[in-house]
Structure 1
Amino acid sequence: MFFGLCIHDGTWKSAVYGFGDQSNLKKLRNESNLKPVPIVGSKLKRRWPISYCRELNSYSIPFLGSDVSVVRRTQRYLLENLEQSPVQYAAYMTVGGITSVIKLMFAGLFFLFFVKFGIGRQLLIKFPWLFSFGYFSKQGPTQKQVTLSFVYSS
């Protein structure tokens, strides 16, 4: 585990339950029959699923969290209720070198397999540190990790 990369398991649980219930969420979204938010300006250029970011000297992949959905709902609200122009949004995360990309792909496939089954979700929730290679824990980051992470990011 790296010095500043320990995250409380609340985020992990959200991912486990969110991905585990993805089919129901898709069904609910289809039933809502909401028309898409209009695109203002030129359409945002999408990156490849794995792309190299020269500015950060690192590879990046699409962020699979709920951020895009939350931003989309916010843009809908702002357009329909406050008559504000919507913005386009995409979320990516950097993952380091190509070796990290490959490791993350295998871990992601493993995770997606486990969340499909009740026993798999139970194991993922009970042992977040094991299945996340130490990145998530029930205790969250230590004070030293928080301090070092703050110093590193400043």
Structure 2
Amino acid sequence: MRLIGRVNHLKKVGLWAVKLPSAYATVVRRTLSCLAKDSRGLPGVNESTEQIEQREAFWSTIKLARFGMNITSNSLLGVVRFITVGKFIALFGKTGIGRWLLLNFPSVFSLGFFRKKGPTKDEVASATFKMWFVGQGFSDGSLASQGNRKPDMEIITRVMGPEIGYLTTPIILVQCALILLKERDNLPKGGVFPPGIVFGPTDLQDRLQQNGISFDVISKKTVYQNGSSLQF
């Protein structure tokens, strides 16, 4: 990873990136904070013994982590556009007249990313999304307690699917709703929770894969202290 100001060049996936100031990272951290309180996850309303074992087995494989999110582009110019749009929103969003300008001339101040009419059906049908996850950690938990040790494992995964707003989001919401209907006894009694801690042990990932959203492990490798690596 090469750092130029606030812009990262992610050589591993061939993309330029800048930090995305959104709620995504906060939601993930809230999920992990729930797990930190109870490593077995949240108990269901009326779980069977088999379901309890399944839930605890699932969460035993999840480790606490630091999480951050970037928005990426194939080119440095694309990232510059992201930053420029962010500056416009931050500047004009402070005043009433500024917000009026943003709402009435979105294509101007978003440099073409957004427009009032929204996308056409053909544009939605042809669009896709891709999310990369680059994780670094330790092959042995005891290594993490050694303050001067660097992570010796790296894994890169990818989530892909159809257009993320009009197609993928409804797919996810519908499948979550079906799980709520079908597996109510296995889910928490109620309250306000991040989705990860609720749906983690369910078959949501399998359901999404059956509906056009793919989850792939791109690479997994051991990183040695001298900088060399072994991929497998």
TM-score, normalisation: structure 1 = 0.55
For structure 2, list consecutive stretches of 5 or more residues without a partner in the other structure. Answer: 43-58, 131-159, 162-232
Contact 1:114–1:121 (8 Å) recurs in 2: yes
Structure 2 residue 40 is the aligned partner of structure 1 residue 62: no
Q: Distance in 2 between matches of 1:102 and 1:137?
A: 19
The 3 A distance-change label for structure 1 pair 95 and 150 is: closer
For structure 1, list consecutive stretches of 5 or more residues without a partner in the other structure. Answer: 1-45
Structure 2 residue 7 is the aligned partner of structure 1 residue 50: yes
Q: CA deviation at 1:50?
A: 1.0
Structure 2 residue 81 is the aligned partner of structure 1 residue 124: no
- What is the identity percentage for the equivalent residue pairs of Structure 1 and Structure 2? 28
Residue deviations 1:51-107 (CA, integer Å, cap 9, x gap): 112233221111122111121222223333538653321111212322233333333
Query: Which one-letter code corresponds to 1:76 in the other structure?
Result: S
Structure 2 residue 70 is the aligned partner of structure 1 residue 113: no
Q: Distance in 2 between matches of 1:118 and 1:72?
A: 33
More relative contact order, 1 or 2 (CA 8 Å, 6+ apart): 1
The 3 A distance-change label for structure 1 pair 134 and 90 is: same
Q: Residue 80 of structure 2 corresponds to which residue in structure 1? A: 102
Q: Distance in 2 between matches of 1:99 and 1:150?
A: 21
Moved beyond 6 Å, runs of 4+: 151-154
Equivalent position SS for 1:141: coil
Q: 1:1-154 alignment to 2 at 5 Å? A: 48=3, 49-80=6-37, 82=41, 86-150=64-128
Contact 1:75–1:86 (8 Å) recurs in 2: yes
Larger proportion of strand: 2
The 3 A distance-change label for structure 1 pair 57 and 47 is: closer
Residue deviations 1:107-153 (CA, integer Å, cap 9, x gap): 32222111121221222123322321222234432211122114996
Larger proportion of helix: 1
Corresponding residue pairs, total? 109
Equivalent position SS for 1:136: coil
Contact 1:61–1:95 (8 Å) recurs in 2: no
Equivalent position SS for 2:67: coil
Query: Which one-letter code corresponds to 2:13 in the other structure?
Result: L
Query: Which one-letter code corresponds to 2:20 in the other structure?
Result: F
Q: Distance in 1 between matches of 2:80 and 2:112?
A: 18
Query: Which one-letter code corresponds to 2:21 in the other structure?
Result: L
Q: CA deviation at 1:47?
A: 7.7
